[in-house]
Amino acid sequence: MNDEATITRQELYDLVWQKPMTRLAEEFGITDQQLASLCKREAIPRPLRGHWNKLAFSKQVGARPPLPSGNRGVDAIVFRISDLLAPPATPKSQVDRHKAKIPPVRISERLFHPHPVIAERIACRKADIRAGREYYDCGTRAWEKITPFNDADRRLFCVLNAICQNLEAHGVAVSRNERGELTARSGCDAIVFQLRYRMKRIKTSRMPDSWDIRPKGDDVVRRDLEATGNLIFEMTSWMPSGFRRKWCEGSTYRMEQFASDIVATMILALPALAAEREAREERSRRSEMRMKQQSEREAQRRLDKNRFRQLAEHAAAWRETSLLRRFVAAMREADLDMGMVIEGKTIARWLNWAEVAIDRHDPLLHPKSVIESIAAVDRWTYPD
């Protein structure tokens, strides 16, 4: 039924007594409970229970009561179909409902039983410290010693550990991909994410050490990056439309308040990714099928064209041999000395040679070979 259709009290009263409520509700695209509530609200009499079963067995049913006038009259619009159709749920509303169903994510102040990804990172840092390795700091533009984790790093690990543990509890595997990025995976689909601190740019003065020319302007000031105390959780891979992909801490909200929302979003985003992937694969499959069918049609068209060309060549050969056969017969009837020798052969022998050559090129003398030659034609028999 059209979503913009309207129903008046009189029309609904007539329809209710023409067919069962369940069937009428299906035509409206609503439930029978919604239809019953409408009838009750508008004071529209309905058939009693068992009314339609009695009619099916030709039994006596109660009289149909008249439609009361009501406060708005019989021509008042009861509802529009579009008003009763439930709008599709947005990803945000789905996340809110799912977040209410799952246990809240609790972030501890100390790291207990770290997730394997975090445990591996801690072990690598300890190994680097023992080995005395250095790294190049792009901010200071110098090689720095690898130091132990500070309080900010430990808080980041506590938040990340809580998120990873809760994702694992809901069947989502967390690991690192071949590029070393954190990945939440379910089946064939994955979400790449990261948890980092917001950086701010600071200005520090620098003095020329061995410069021959004194620096001026911006060269005197060096702009470095410094970590703030605010965390940022971001999903860096492609996400379906409508799903939030970035949470930033501030003075009002902290990551402890965002953790449940992050977990619920990732749990629901993975099935949405799977649906998008399946739809994409289906479109690709249909496209490949169309291309294959088009290629097969083109191949069949070219094959038919080449076979017809072969048939036309046989027809042309038959027409030519028929003409030549009549021509040789006419020459035999001409006034010729059959015993005259030309190039070592008599004219009679030359005419016999002509008849043999005509028979050799006449396709109708070997009709089976004509069909076999046509059947042997393929798409590449004629290059043009």
Three-state SS string over the chain comes to: CCCCCEEEHHHHHHHHCCCCHHHHHHHHCCCHHHHHHHHHHCCCCCCCCCHHHHHHCCCCCCCCCCCCCCCCCCCCEEEEHHHHCCCCCCHHHHHHHHHHHCCCCCCCCCCCCCCHHHHHHHHHHHHHHHHCCEEEECCCCEEEECCCCCHHHHHHHHHHHHHHHHHHHCCCEEEECCCCCEEEEECCEEEEEEEEEEEEEEEEECCCCCCCCCCCHHHHEEEEEEEEEEEEEEECCCCCCCCCCEEECCCCCCHHHHHHHHHHHHHHHHHHHHHHHHHHHHHHHHHHHHHHHHHHHHHHHHHHHHHHHHHHHHHHHHHHHHHHHHHHHHHHHCCCCCCCEECCEEHHHHHHHHHHHHHHHCHHHCHHHHHHHHHCCCCCCCCC
Contact 221, 204 (CB under 8 A): yes
Look up tokens 């023992």; give the residue: 130
What pLDDT, on a 0 to 100 scale, did the predictor assign at position 210?
44
Which residues are within 8 A (CB) of 173 and not within 5 positions of it... i.e. 6 or more apart?
A: 184, 185, 186
Place of tokens 């808080």: 155
For residues 28 and 84, is the Cβ–Cβ distance under 8 A?
Answer: yes
Residue 371's pLDDT is: 93
pLDDT of residue 128: 87
Predicted local confidence at residue 212, as pLDDT: 44
Tell me how far CA of residue 237 lies from CA of 78, 178, 222, in angstroms: 48, 14, 33
> What is the per-residue pLDDT for 88?
65
Which residues lie closer than 8 Å to 43 by C-beta, 6 or more apart? 68, 70
pLDDT on residue 1: 46
Tell me how crowded residue 347 is: count the other CB atoms within 10 A of its CB.
Answer: 17
Structure tokens that stand for 86 in this block = 């439930």
pLDDT of residue 3: 47
What is the sign, positive or negative, of the torsion defined by CA atoms of 215, 220, 226, 232? negative
Other Cβ atoms within 10 Å of 163 Cβ, number: 26
Q: What is the pLDDT along the chain (384 residues), one digit of tens a residue?
A: 444 567 778 888 888 888 888 888 877 777 788 888 888 888 888 888 888 888 888 888 888 888 887 666 656 665 665 555 555 678 888 888 888 888 999 999 888 889 999 999 999 989 988 888 888 876 667 788 888 888 889 999 999 999 999 999 999 999 999 999 999 999 999 999 999 999 888 776 655 554 444 455 555 455 577 788 899 999 999 999 899 999 999 888 899 999 999 999 999 999 999 999 999 999 999 999 999 999 999 999 999 999 999 999 999 999 999 999 999 999 888 888 888 888 888 989 999 999 999 999 999 888 899 999 999 999 888 887
Q: Where are the domains of the chain?
A: 6-86, 95-282, 294-375
The pLDDT score that the predictor gives to residue 79 is 61
For the record, the structure tokens of 350 come out as 């030359």
224 closest CA partner among 206, 236, 245, 242: 206
In this predicted structure, what is the pLDDT of residue 2? Answer: 44
- Burial group, residue 73, by CB count within 10 angstroms (0-12, 13-18, 19+): exposed
Predicted confidence at residue 67, as pLDDT, reads 83
Q: Are 44 and 34 in contact (CB under 8 A)?
A: no
